[in-house]
């Protein structure tokens, strides 16, 4: 019975973390690939569906997710409406350079050293992964290392959100 109560309590806390929105954000872009760009602004991607992973560079669980986030980017690489972002909370730019060299991310790595976005998302556990719709409403949240089940849930959340966006345009 205690196990069931713990699961119900966790589910209630988890579900209460969905359904809120965050404001548009601009953060330093640490692995910028566009000449002249030094920051990444969500306002440049008005119709996007977002997958945001918050992490810190020394977190072993976060580092375990790095190839999985790259794989997710590969899955959605032909759909520019899907924006996949790693949002780090570390301050030292040299540490980001080393992390980027080691993990070779194929998606934007942003720096949130003031933890403003992480706080707006309600991040208290690292890594935390969020799927947001085009209005920056949180529609899915996961914490910890991605299992294959979580990876599928993230893909499903993105695809359902894209479908809803498509229906609202028709």
Q: What percent of the chain has pLDDT over 70?
A: 84
User: 8 falls in which pLDDT band (50, 70, 90)?
Assistant: very low
User: 133 falls in which pLDDT band (50, 70, 90)?
Assistant: very high
Nearest in space to 165 (alpha carbons), one of 26, 50, 31: 50
- Cα 11 to Cα 5, 15, 18, 123, 143: the distances in Å are 10, 6, 11, 16, 13
Mean pLDDT, the chain, integer: 88
b/e map 127-163, b = 16+ CB within 10 Å = bbbbbbbbebebbbbbbeebeeebbebbeebbeebbe
Q: Looking at residue 12, what is its pLDDT?
A: 39
Kindly report, residue by residue over 44-78, the tens digit of the pLDDT: 998 999 999 999 999 999 999 999 999 999 999 99
- Kindly report the pTM of this predicted structure: 0.86
Q: Looking at residue 19, what is its pLDDT?
A: 78
Query: Structurally, how many domains does the chain consist of?
Result: 1
Q: Looking at residue 165, what is its pLDDT?
A: 79
CATH number, domain with residue 88: 3.40.30.10
Boundaries of domain holding 39:
2-169
CB count within 10 Å of CB 107 equals 21
């Amino acid at each position: 019975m205690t196990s069931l109560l713990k699961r119900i309590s966790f589910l209630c806390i988890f579900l209460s973390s969905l359904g809120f929105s965050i404001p548009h954000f601009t953060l330093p872009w640490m692995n910028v690939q566009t000449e002249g760009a030094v920051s990444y602004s969500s306002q440049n991607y008005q119709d996007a569906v977002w997958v945001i992973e918050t992490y810190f560079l020394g977190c072993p669980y976060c580092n375990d997710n790095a190839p999985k986030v790259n794989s997710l980017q590969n899955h959605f690489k032909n759909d520019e409406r899907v924006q996949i972002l790693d949002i780090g909370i570390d301050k030292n730019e040299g540490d980001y350079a080393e992390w980027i060299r080691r993990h070779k991310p194929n998606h934007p790595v942003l720096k949130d050293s003031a933890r403003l976005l992480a706080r707006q998302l309600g991040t208290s556990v690292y890594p935390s992964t969020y799927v947001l719709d085009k209005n920056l409403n949180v529609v899915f949240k996961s914490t910890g290392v991605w299992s294959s089940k979580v990876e599928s849930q993230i893909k499903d959340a993105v695809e359902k959100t894209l479908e809803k966006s498509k229906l609202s345009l028709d």
